[in-house]
C-alpha cells in the first residue's frame, strides 16, 4: 500500500520504484514498459524491427552490468524482450 505522506516527504520517485519493483510480477511489468518505450518509437521511426531489437538487447546487457543487484532482473527481462523481438523479426522476415 502506498502511503500518501511519502509523496509529500520528497521521496515520491522511490515510492513509485518500490511499487513497480516490489511485487511478484512487478519486475517483468517494469521491464515491459521500458522495452516498449524503446521498441515502439524506434520501430515507428525506422519502419523495421532490426534497430529497436539491437538497441533493446544492448541496453539490457549494459544495464545488467551497471544497475545494482535489485534492479538487474529488470535489465535481464528487457534483454529477453529484445531477444523475443529478434526471434519474431527473423520469423517474419524469412519464414512468414
pLDDT digits (tens, 9 = 90+) for 5-57: 666 776 777 776 666 666 656 677 777 888 888 888 988 898 888 889 999 99
Q: In this predicted structure, what is the pLDDT of residue 20?
A: 64
Does residue 5 sit within a domain? no
Does residue 7 sit within a domain? no
Number of domains in the chain: 1
Q: Domain containing 87: what range?
A: 26-95
The string over 20-38, giving b where at least 16 C-beta atoms fall within 10 Å of a residue's C-beta and e elsewhere, is bbeeeeebbebbeebbeeb
Does residue 4 sit within a domain? no
Q: Can you tell me the distance from the alpha carbon of 37 to that of 56, in angstroms, rounded to the nearest whole number? A: 10
CA 24: distance to chain centroid?
A: 16
Instruction: Give residue 3's pLDDT band: very low, low, confident or very high (50, 70, 90).
Output: low
Does residue 64 sit within a domain? yes
Q: In this predicted structure, what is the pLDDT of residue 29?
A: 75
The candidate with the shortest Cα–Cα distance to 34, out of 3, 71, 86, 89, is 71
Only one residue has cell 500500500, namely 1
Amino acid at each position: 500500500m502506498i502511503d500518501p505522506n511519502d509523496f509529500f516527504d520528497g521521496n515520491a520517485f522511490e515510492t513509485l520504484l518500490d511499487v513497480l519493483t516490489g511485487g511478484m510480477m512487478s519486475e517483468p511489468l517494469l521491464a515491459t514498459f521500458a522495452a516498449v518505450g524503446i521498441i515502439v518509437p524506434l520501430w515507428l521511426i525506422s519502419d523495421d524491427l532490426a534497430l529497436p531489437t539491437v538497441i533493446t538487447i544492448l541496453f539490457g546487457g549494459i544495464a545488467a552490468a551497471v544497475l545494482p543487484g535489485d534492479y538487474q532482473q529488470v535489465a535481464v527481462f528487457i534483454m529477453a524482450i529484445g531477444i523475443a523481438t529478434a526471434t519474431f523479426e527473423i520469423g517474419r522476415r524469412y519464414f512468414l
